[in-house]
Amino acid sequence: MNARTNIALLANSSSPLHPLQELLAVAGYQCNVFHAGRDLIQGL
């Protein structure tokens, strides 16, 4: 599964922890963007 799938699964789940899951999904996305940017810079 990729990050988009994980975010979609978190967004669709109906649980009392939804706000926490949403924050984790956003944090995971930001982390992936950071790593992608770092890898791009290292590749230059």
The string of pLDDT tens digits covering residues 1-43 is 566 656 656 555 555 556 766 777 777 777 777 777 888 888 8
Count of CB atoms situated within 10 Å of the CB of 37: 10
Cβ pair 29, 7 in contact under 8 A: yes
Q: Helix crossing, 18-43 with 3-12: angle to 10°?
A: 170
Residue 26: the pLDDT is 73
Cβ pair 19, 31 in contact under 8 A: no
Residue 6: the pLDDT is 62
Whether this model's pTM surpasses 0.95: no
Report how far apart the first and last C-alpha atoms of the chain are (Å, whole number). Answer: 28
